[in-house]
Amino acid sequence: MPELPEVQTIVQDMLASDLLGRKIADVQIYWKRTIAFPNPNIFKKQIINESIREIGRRGKFIVLTLSHFTLLIHLRMTGKFFLNNQKKKTPHERVRLIFDDGRILHYDDQRKFGKWHLLESSNEKFDTIGIEPLSPSFTFQAFKALLNNSSQQIKPFLLNQRHVAGLGNIYVDEALWAAKIHPEQKAKTIGLSKQKELHKAIIDVLKQGIAYMGTTLGTQHANYFSVSGRRGGNQTQLKVFRRENLPCPRCETTLIKIKVAQRGTHICPHCQILD
DNA sequence: GCCCTTTCCTGGAAGC
DNA sequence: TGCTTCCAGGAAAGGG
């Protein structure tokens, strides 16, 4: 599932694909509900003839700055992009953008959870998104203040995009394992030294994810591919995620899978103890 | 206002 | 073998 490192890799791929300055000549919508805003007819009218001015990321959103609008895309579980010249519709294609050079950006989304928003300003959407964990504003002091202000369990706290932007199930499990914190520990009850370890772990697991160009799990129906169709490499670096019944890389205790806030959660029952 | 539950979706896996 | 049920999960909406 695309989280910050996967979205970052997609953005880097789009930038490397010479999409900047390209004009959108046409658009096809195969699943109307993918277009969250505005309604699909208005969306079509507004986006045709727009040019791509900037390509970026905010949290898990891909941000395409166009001539007059901002296109925000959230891939959720199974959204993917492929850029090529192939006109044939793929089985799970929901939207396609056709550029003035003939290339087609196919948006594939098996489970139809992904959403596109075409807005005049991205501000309204970004008001509710928290700190970028790889930006200078993600200081330990800022993170500590957020933790000390929440009685939520640490796992759902970290998954909540209002606090820290871009974390999902994979990188939260990895960061909590690295900091030796149980996912059900209440945020405000985490001690100072573990708060510091967690702050560092979040940055480390995300940077590693980007360095390995994302995490691709599974084979046939893998949930993440870059724009060029390349698989990520970070799955070989995971320490706990989807590694239940395997030994903990730190202490060799058998890793287990539990449920926290309705999410499948992977922990080492020896390293990650509730305080 | 905070926290928990439900909903949206498909297809592979598990159960019978 | 073939059918049904369960499960995966990000984020928004609804409920307590």
- Rounded mean pLDDT of A29-49? 92
**Residue that is written with structure tokens 């793929």 in the block:** A90
From the CA of A203 to the C1' of C15: give the distance in Å: 36
Tally the residues of chain A.
275
Question: Which residue in A57, A60, A155, A239 is the catalytic one?
Answer: A60
> Containing H/E element for A57?
strand A52-58
- Nucleotides of chain C in contact with protein CB (under 7 A) are 7-12
The sign of the dihedral angle between the CA atoms of A199, A204, A209, A213 is positive
Under 8 Å between Cβ of A167 and A155 = no
pLDDT digits (tens, 9 = 90+) for A125-135: 788 889 999 99
Under 8 Å between Cβ of A135 and A102 = no
Active site residue A50: no
pLDDT digits (tens, 9 = 90+) for A137-172: 999 999 999 999 888 899 999 999 989 999 999 999
Active site residue A2: yes
Active site residue A60: yes
Question: Which residue in A3, A6, A50, A93 is the catalytic one?
Answer: A3
Distance (Å, rounded) from C-alpha A63 to C-alpha A72?
A: 5
> Which range, of A8-17, A155-164, A210-219, A241-250, averages the lowest pLDDT?
A210-219
Question: Which residue in A38, A186, A263, A269 is the catalytic one?
Answer: A263
Share of chain A above pLDDT 70, in %: 98
Task: Please list, in sequence order, all residues whose beta carbon lies within 8 angstroms of the beta carbon of residue A135, skipping any fewer than 6 positions away.
Answer: none
| Local confidence band at A215 (pLDDT 50, 70, 90 cut-offs) | confident
pLDDT digits (tens, 9 = 90+) for A25-36: 999 999 998 999
